[in-house]
Amino acid sequence: MIGVVESVSALRFLLDCGVDEVIGEEPTDWSALSPRPRAQSAVASPAPPQPGPTPSVPQPAPRQNVPQAPPPARPPDPVPLGAVEAGQSARAASSAVQTLDALKAALAAFDGCALKKTATNLVFGMGSRQARIMLIGEAPGENEDRQGLPFVGPAGQLLDRMLGAIGLDRHADDPAKAVYITNMLPWRPPGNRSPTDSEIAACMPFMVRHIELLSPDFLIFAGGISAKAMLNRTEGITRLRGRWFDYGSAGLTKTVPAMPMLHPAYLLRNPDAKREAWKDLLALKLRLNAEA
């Protein structure tokens, strides 16, 4: 017979094991029981819907083949002129004008240079039309394209100081002190790139006529592009600068003394070259005084 002490010890053991409730009078040997099969879920799947009668939908009346009017034809884009055609068109347009204002209008109507489509403004020229000196640069930059005036950016500011150092001014009314300023090309090349030979050739007749109508006493070509194109030379600007050449054309009654100079934009990138530019300015001043 189990004693009290043993019973208490057994109960404490059961409590420690988590047994705290009696569910039967006799103990059950769970290991001797056979497992019961798990009940299968008897959930019936829903029956598929039975198709009902298809409602009658009124059918549209058959369309009649009505001929549609064709869309209006789009006007063709203007075909850009080739190099030869552009040159011929430029010569015809420029030779027909007799004033600078008419030349500017002819340039504005000219479609032989693709730069016109990408530029913001036409940059023609500025200064007294009675000036003794005509200065021709290369092509407009960003500031010039925005304002429609030549040499108004940093290079133009340097040019004004250079001219002022020998008593010249683009804003002067006195022909002896005035300088008329323009560019070889009236439209800015995209990204300030150098103009191509075809672009220069297309605009050349207008530049030649520009010189003929202004008829200056002296020409200054600022930069290698204008110097080589207008003088028909192959040397670079460092070889051409500071030398006097004779420029002539069919519309001029006499040849015009012309001197190439370093472009102010080049001087901004190469300050050491300002010494050569100063020599050229002094040579220009000496020539002006000699032929005053």
246-260 mean pLDDT: 96
Alpha carbon distances (Å) from 291 to 10, 50, 204, 257, 288: 137, 113, 29, 11, 5
222-251 mean pLDDT: 96
Domain count for the chain, please give it. 1
Are 247 and 240 in contact by the 8 Å Cβ rule? The answer is: no
The residues, any chain, with a CB within 8 Å of residue 183's CB and separated by 6 or more, are: 123, 136, 137, 138, 139, 140, 144, 150, 226
**Element (DSSP H or E) covering residue 68:** none
233-252 mean pLDDT: 96
Alpha carbon distances (Å) from 74 to 70, 71, 77: 12, 9, 9
In a domain, 93, yes or no: yes
Is the entire prediction scored with pTM above 0.85? no
- 160 pLDDT tier (thresholds 50, 70, 90): very high
CATH of the domain at 125: 3.40.470.10
- Provide the 3-class DSSP secondary structure of residue 285: helix
* Burial per residue of 257-273, b for 16 or more beta-carbon CB atoms within 10 angstroms, e otherwise: bbbbbbbbbbbeeeeee
236-241 mean pLDDT: 96
Are 226 and 137 in contact by the 8 Å Cβ rule? The answer is: yes
| pLDDT > 50? residue 139 | yes
Which pLDDT score is estimated for 42? 46
d(CA 158, CA 149): 15
Count the Cβ atoms, other than its own, within 10 Å of residue 150. 27
Which pLDDT score is estimated for 5? 59
d(CA 235, CA 74): 49
Query: Domain range spanning residue 96?
Result: 83-290
Work out the mean pLDDT of the chain and round it to a whole number.
Answer: 86
Are 218 and 135 in contact by the 8 Å Cβ rule? The answer is: no
In a domain, 10, yes or no: no
Predicted confidence (pLDDT) per residue in 7-64, tens digit: 667 667 666 666 666 666 666 666 666 665 555 544 455 555 565 555 555 565 555 5
In a domain, 193, yes or no: yes
- 255 pLDDT tier (thresholds 50, 70, 90): very high
d(CA 105, CA 118): 18
Which pLDDT score is estimated for 52? 57
d(CA 51, CA 274): 96
Count the Cβ atoms, other than its own, within 10 Å of residue 208. 20
Which pLDDT score is estimated for 41? 47
104-122 mean pLDDT: 96
Higher pLDDT, 161 or 81: 161
